[in-house]
Structure formats: structure tokens, C-alpha cells
Copies of this chain bind each other. A is one copy, B any other.
Amino acid sequence: MHPLAYEELPVPAGVEPFRPEEHPGLTVWFTGLSSAGKTTIATEVRRRLLRLRMRTEVLDGDSLRKHLSSDLGFSKQDRDTNIRRIGFVANLLSRNGVIVLVAAISPYQEVREEVRSKIGRFAEVYVNAPLQVCERRDVKGLYKKARRGELRHFTGIDDPYEPAPDLECQTHLESVSECADKVMRLILSSRMQK
């Protein structure tokens, strides 16, 4: 055995005690149709949080599907499983003081409520633009595919979306910067309340 117990080692430089009550993390969950602007706003909020030197991560639905849910499709059950997985990761991060920005269509209110109740410190932001606007943007060309019948269960086309927001951003009326302002106020005021 090593003769030196770890308790006798000097406290490493830069190690500073973690007191969860002083580092309240938060999950901000951006929901809404494809091309509504969820990732765009989340990315801008992240940029601003980093400027304030706050811990933050964007969990983007598309990227998370690739990393955690490559096996899942778009049935209600698979969508719910995907949301639960994202919620599980968001919970791990936010209870360690990270401001987690989830950008995922997450159309079903029930599973969002389930995730909210598990995480606790949770705010839902409805990124809202009319279907016609989202379809005109069609950033990933998915609406075209859905209209041609090549994609089924497409939210807004042949699958429902159920809003229940704490905050709403209307991306056809408000700029990215205005939306990010609103979200920043939400985040900073939630941290002041703890």
C-alpha cells in the first residue's frame, strides 16, 4: 500500500468547495416546431452565458438523437423515450450547477411535465412561429419531405404539438436578440431567487 493516505495530501490548487445551494443549475427547455428557431436562440443564450462565465451546455435534439437515441424513431413512444433520455442528462448537468439549454421539438406536454417534475429547476420556453413561417424557412428541408409523404409523424403536419410555456418567443415577430434577452432575464432572475 502507498504509505500516504489521501487525507494527508495538500488540497489541490484550484479546488474550491462545491456547495450546490450556491450554484443553482437550471434546465431551460426550448420547445416548438422544426425551424421555429430553438437552436438559434439557445446558441445565442449560451454565448451570453459564457460571456458571464457561467457553466452552460446546449443539448440539441438532433445531436442528442445521434449520440443517445440512434435507435429511436418518431412514434409517440420513441419521442417520449428520447425526451426522457435528454431529461436524464439535463438533470445530471443542472444538479451540478450547469445552465442546460435543451432545444428539442418535444411536442408532448405530458412527458415534458414528467421531466420538469424530476429536474425541479426547470423552465419551458415555447419558441413559437406559425407553421407557414417554419415551413417557409425549412432549414433542414424536412417539411418538403413531410409534405411529399417521405416523413411520417412530422410535428405540425401529421403529428400534434402541445404548448404549455413559462415563456414564449415569437420568432416571426421578435429578433433573436430580443428572444435571448427574455430568456436571459428568466435565467438570471431564477438564479437570484434560488
Q: Using a CB–CB distance below 8 Å, which chain A residues touch chain B? A: 1-2, 4-6, 9-19, 21-24, 48, 52-55, 57, 67-68, 70-72, 81, 84-85, 88-89, 92-93, 96-98, 174, 178, 181-182, 184-185, 188-189, 191-192, 194
Residues of B within 8 A of A6 (CB): 48, 181, 184-185, 188
Cβ–Cβ contact A182 & B2, under 8 A? yes
A13 touches B192 (CB 8 A): yes
- Of the candidates A6, A71, A72, A98, the one having the most CB atoms from chain B within 10 angstroms of its own CB is A6
Chain B residue at minimum C-beta to C-beta distance from A57: B92
Q: How far is the CB of A113 from chain B (nearest CB, A)?
A: 18
Cα distance A192–B15 in the bound complex, in angstroms: 9
Q: How far is the CB of A69 from chain B (nearest CB, A)?
A: 8
Least CB distance from A179 to B in Å reads 10
A181 touches B2 (CB 8 A): yes
Rounded to whole angstroms, the CA-CA distance of A88 and B191 in the bound complex is: 27
CB-based nearest B residue for A71: B71
A15 — which chain B residues lie within 8 A by C-beta? 52, 54, 191
A15 CA / B189 CA spacing, docked (Å)? 12
**A67 and B185 alpha carbons, distance in the complex (Å):** 32
A71→B77 CA distance, assembly (Å):
12
